[in-house]
Amino acid sequence: MPLPQPREGEPQGFHSYPSFDLETTLGEPETIVWSSIRHLCSQAAAAYTAGAHGHTHRRVRETIARSVKLYIGQSYEFYEAATDAKPNTAPLLYYYAFLNLAKALCEFKKPKLHERAECYSHGISWRPNPKMLVRFQTEYVTVRQNGMWQALWAALMKAACPVPQNTRLHIQTLFSYCPDIGAEYGRSCGLGRLNLIPLESPNIMYNKQAQEAWLSFSIERWRLQAARIPAPKFLRQISATGNAYTEVVSTNPKELRRFQSTSTKPATNIDDVHEAFDDHILAFSVISHMGPEQRLRYLVPIQRTVQYRIPQILISYSILFWLGSLVRYDPHSVRSLMDSHYWILIDGFMSQCRPWLLEQFRWALYNEETTLTTAR
């Protein structure tokens, strides 16, 4: 059966948050990101940002602002201490820095976090084996009862965390979802590809005359073949309730397969289309990545051993929890890893993915995708 033609419309871009911006700096990006995050230590700034998260009552916003100031202040202190720490101790300090950023974000989404049980539990665990050193290929963390891991999932995905207790998240799989260290992953794990499929030309399309909008994207043919995942299975993975995707005629059929939303959404105002598709884009669980020419690229994780959607922040957060646990409970394994061929992967994560995780938290705290580029 021949493929249908794509609908006619104007591209409106694709972003992981409905609100988005572009910034350029001459300074050091990590310093700029922290400056933006620490701005929320201001009572007025945090109260205003609470409004962007949907809180309208003045007293609620003031309560949120007081707690956010505490969490972010403590996060920054841990982060600064980690910056001066050695590689065999820094991961633990960095984890607690991001744990406090997670608390700040959860406070914005659901105030008075400190009065709830999840504030006092990590939500995931790792158990050392006293009789042997870690084996990277078989390492995993285990999802536990309701804690900060689940609260962070809910804050990011706007729904209760569906991942059941005792689910194992394999560390090597989590690393395979980190595009910033693709080369290191290949050298360390002996695998030539990550568990990611890049989206080509993703866009929210808008037809002004019909006043309707829909999602459109393409995928390189060889990507699906290499991943050994049929297109229908991949499309089911990224479909949200009330939305599915259909393959249509591609402008470059030899190289690309093009897809679009099966149904459209009414949109009388072009400025509202990104808000209208927020839930649909959440279903992608997109992995954002700064590609060539400092342009954001979006990739979709392939769900194999991990059967649930895990937001990008939680992928890096979980890896950092594992590394921090090693530092705290099993320094002998840390030393063993530092002497192994896996250290280039771990070191790459700490030097590349960890700063990007900080930037991802900035997006989540402000509820805005801010692409920061350097002018140098």
Q: What is the pLDDT of residues 49-93, one digit of tens each?
A: 999 899 989 999 999 999 999 999 999 999 999 999 999 999 999
Summarize the confidence of residues 3-28 as an average pLDDT: 91
Asked whether residue 213 is assigned to any structural domain, the reply reads yes
Range of the domain at 230: 10-15+196-301
Grade residue 374 by pLDDT with cuts at 50, 70 and 90: confident
Asked whether residue 145 is assigned to any structural domain, the reply reads no
| pLDDT computed for residue 376 by the predictor | 64
| pLDDT computed for residue 107 by the predictor | 97
Asked whether residue 293 is assigned to any structural domain, the reply reads yes
The answer on pLDDT for 1 being more than 80 is: no
Asked whether residue 288 is assigned to any structural domain, the reply reads yes
Q: Which is more confidently placed, 4 or 190?
A: 4
What are the tens digits of pLDDT across the range 211-237?
999 999 999 999 998 888 899 999 988
Asked whether residue 330 is assigned to any structural domain, the reply reads no
Find out whether 286 and 202 touch, Cβ atoms under 8 Å. Answer: no
Least confident of 188-192, 206-210, 234-238: 188-192
Model confidence, pTM: 0.94
The answer on pLDDT for 193 being more than 80 is: no
Summarize the confidence of residues 266-274 as an average pLDDT: 90
Split into its structural domains, the chain has a count of: 1
Q: Which two tokens stand for residue 102?
A: 């997670």
Asked whether residue 204 is assigned to any structural domain, the reply reads yes
| pLDDT computed for residue 192 by the predictor | 60
List CB contacts of 34: < 8 A, sequence separation 6 or more: 76, 79, 358
| pLDDT computed for residue 120 by the predictor | 96
SS3 of residue 107 by DSSP: helix
Segments in the chain forming alpha helices (H): 29-38, 43-52, 58-83, 90-109, 148-157, 171-175, 182-189, 221-227, 231-238, 273-276, 278-282, 312-329, 331-338, 343-348, 354-366
| pLDDT computed for residue 327 by the predictor | 96
Find out whether 167 and 150 touch, Cβ atoms under 8 Å. Answer: no
| pLDDT computed for residue 131 by the predictor | 83
Least confident of 18-27, 113-122, 158-167, 254-263: 18-27
